[in-house]
Amino acid sequence: MSVVELESGAAFFDDVAGIRACLTEPLPRIPPWFGYDERGSELFEQITELPTYYLTRVEWALLRRHGADIAARLGCPRVAELGSGSAKKTRLLLAECAARRPTHYLPVDVSREMLEHSADRLGDLPGLSVTGLWGRYEAGLDRLHDDGGAPLAVLFLGANVGNTTPGERSALLARIAAALRPGDAFAVSADLLKPAAVFETCYNDPPGYSAFADFRLNHLAHLARRFGGQVELDDFRAAAHYDPDHQVVDGRLWARRDRSVELPVLGLSLDVRRGEGINVGFSAKFDRDGFRRDVEAHGLRAEAEWVDDEAGYGIFLFRR
Ligand SMILES: C[S@@+](CC[C@H](N)C(=O)[O-])C[C@H]1O[C@@H](n2cnc3c(N)ncnc32)[C@H](O)[C@@H]1O
């Protein structure tokens, strides 16, 4: 497999303007893609194995049960995936796709390590070729759009679509729609509304585990390391809360005492008072009909959906 470098030399990790803008919002936040350096990617894999983190298991089961049907509907020779990560679940779908016709898989991810590992693991699937697109979603989508090639399906799995603010989500969906040509497909998974307690159990570590806390703290460690700062991670406590008014799980680092993290390369000091937080990831939750409408507003037509009603989690297929 080959890896195409979309933003040369991991330029996204040095996107000073983008990171500064997020850190100076009323609720400072470290953008989600910034959390996926090599260690962050490993920690995310540990999260997917937590006994309380249902998203990966439910999606896996949906793909196992309906993968053949989904692949038949995708039915095209180019399958791109935004934020592919380990692509362990996607493998099920790709095996079905490649059994039908030769398939070119184009995973887009900021984690080069994950792109390389996933391609190695997919190497044994007959009929599948892989080109990793290393960079952010937008750069990957531009590349697919410019390609002018064969019919395309874009996958956005793992409920990643929820790791955005409403404004970012709308801009990203517009960009996805613009990358598709008439007849192309978009398959996206979403976690549906549930009682707050379900989310708070899912997005915090169960006793004896620390994957979520380590993953969230790693955002700050990575930020300080990259931008010349020093940070004492013990000064922060990681926790996620569900905000039912905005239908979003808010993953935060809370300062245990007043703290200033100097980031000389960014030319700013991140001042956090005791009891205040830094956001390190949103996970939006969706009303089923509302989600469909939000995506359709971007000129895509809902075609099919596979939903685990008990778990409140689904994969939705749209057609351009
Ligand atoms: C929550 S993980 C999900 C991984 C995989 N899809 C799954 O379901 O297990 C998010 C993945 O998206 C990647 N990612 C996050 N934000 C990104 C962005 N803006 N552009 C490209 N990749 C991104 C991360 O590196 C990570 O591999």
Pocket of ligand 1 (CB under 6 A): 32-33, 36, 41, 44, 48, 56, 83-85, 89, 108-111, 114, 136-137, 157-158, 160
Helix, coil or strand: residue 16: helix
| 161 Cα: distance to centroid of ligand 1 (angstroms) | 10
Q: According to the model, what pLDDT value does residue 8 have? A: 79
Supply angle C-alpha 219, 15, 278, rounded to 5.
35
Q: According to the model, what pLDDT value does residue 11 have? A: 83
Domain 54-192+286-319, CATH among 3.40.718.10, 2.130.10.10, 3.40.50.150, 3.40.190.10: 3.40.50.150
> pLDDT tens string for the chain (320 positions)?
788 999 877 788 888 998 999 999 999 999 999 999 999 999 999 999 999 999 999 999 999 999 999 999 998 899 999 999 999 999 999 999 999 999 999 999 999 999 999 988 999 999 999 999 999 999 999 999 877 779 999 999 999 999 999 999 999 999 999 999 999 999 999 999 999 999 999 999 999 999 999 999 999 999 999 999 999 999 999 999 999 999 999 999 999 999 999 999 999 999 999 988 999 999 999 999 999 999 999 999 999 999 999 999 999 999 99
Q: According to the model, what pLDDT value does residue 118 have? A: 92
- Inter-CA distances, 37 with 33, 43, 65, 114, Å: 8, 10, 33, 10
Element (H, E) at 119: helix 112-122
Radius of gyration of the chain (CA): 19
Query: Which residue minimizes the CA distance to atom 14 of ligand 1?
Result: 83
Q: According to the model, what pLDDT value does residue 147 have? A: 76
Q: According to the model, what pLDDT value does residue 14 have? A: 85
| 270 Cα: distance to centroid of ligand 1 (angstroms) | 26
CA dihedral angle for residue 175, residue 242, residue 47, residue 133, rounded to 10 degrees:
10
DSSP 18-87: HHHHHHTSSS-B--GGGG-SHHHHHHHHHHHTSTT-HHHHHHHHHHHHHHHHHHHHH--SEEEEET-TT-
| Sheet of strand 248-255, all strands in order from the earlier edge strand to the far edge | 236-243, 248-255, 277-284
Centroid of chain to Cα 184: 21
| 81 Cα: distance to centroid of ligand 1 (angstroms) | 10
With contact defined as beta carbons under 8 Å apart, do 192 and 312 qualify?
Answer: yes
Q: Where are the domains of the chain?
A: 14-51+196-284, 54-192+286-319
Atom of ligand 1 at shortest range from CA of 36? 25
Query: Which residue minimizes the CA distance to atom 17 of ligand 1?
Result: 33
DSSP 170-223: HHHHHHHHHH--TT-EEEEEEEBP--HHHHHHHTSPPTT--HHHHHHHHHHHHH
